Amino acid sequence: MNLHIDGHRNENLGVLKLSGEIDAYTAPQLKEELLALVEEKREVEVDLLKVNYMDSTGLGVFISALKLSKEKEHHLKLINLQENVYRLFNITGLNDVINIENTVKGELS
Amino acid sequence: MKEAFDFVEMKLPAKSEFVGVLRLTISGVANRMGFSYEEIEDLKVATSEAITNAVNHAYYEEDSGEVTIGFGLYEDRLEVMVADRGGSFDLQEVKEQIGPYDERETVEDMREGGFGLFLIDALMDKVEINNNHGVIVIMTKFLYENEVGQSDDQISTTQ
């Protein structure tokens, strides 16, 4: 029940690969790392392939990251969302405002 | 006639590291009752939202109290009750804040919190909130394995 955050950076692009669960316990750590990356890099990608659980605390983190990216004129993109995770973006209407590429089913151990 | 049901109760510290413990518990309870994989995912999110609200109240009030969670396992449904004894909030204000995003909203105006109750409402079949002494959220999810005629039967047998 933890979240593992793996960050990669090159010149303009920052990538965060996440694995585990995003909830009230793990969201603060994600927020800190993601906001730092959005502040620093023009293009930021968050790979959620191995995120098997997320709730509204995760939505909150991505909204604050999106706000910061607009402010800085940077770009934020979420990729490889599991169906149950994408569903929350869909129910809340956030899929219309956040750039989401590619949803997947499976590939989880 | 009184309806037969099993009841499970647990108390957890009002700390965020226990939100995941509640998810494991609800998975076990819902799986035993025969809920589908998707329904169990819904239940995990909804109960996590409820306990997260309770944990946040405790945090703001510097009260490291407990959250009480009750599961009522009925023949046709699961009722989950999440109660925190902490202070109350303005229910009307909370209700006004919930809802999906409006595409016309600008990014700057978007709220970062307040999706919890909206998700509970969207993912469960019935939600009641009682705000008299602390906050109690009671959420119900029905088991739809024998759907035929269920709605008619329910009306006639419920007292």
CA distances to A68, A103, B92, B97, B108 from B101, rounded to whole Å, are 18, 21, 19, 11, 13
pLDDT at A59: 96
pLDDT at B108: 60
Q: Sign of the C-alpha dihedral, residues B133, B129, B16, B79?
A: positive
Q: Tell which CATH architecture fits domain A3-101.
A: 2-Layer Sandwich (3.30)
- Predicted structure pTM score: 0.85
- List of chain B residues with pLDDT < 70: 1, 58-64, 86-113, 133, 145-159
pLDDT at B63: 58
Residue A45 has pLDDT above 80, yes or no: yes
With an 8 Å Cβ cutoff, the interface of chain B facing chain A consists of 16-17, 19-21, 23-24, 38, 41, 44-45, 48-49, 52, 55-56, 100-103, 107-108, 110-113, 115-116, 118-119, 122-123
pLDDT at A81: 96
**What digits encode the pLDDT tens for the residues B114-139?**
788 889 999 999 998 887 767 888 99
Average pLDDT over residues A84-108: 88
Strands B135-142 and A3-9: unpaired
pLDDT at B134: 74
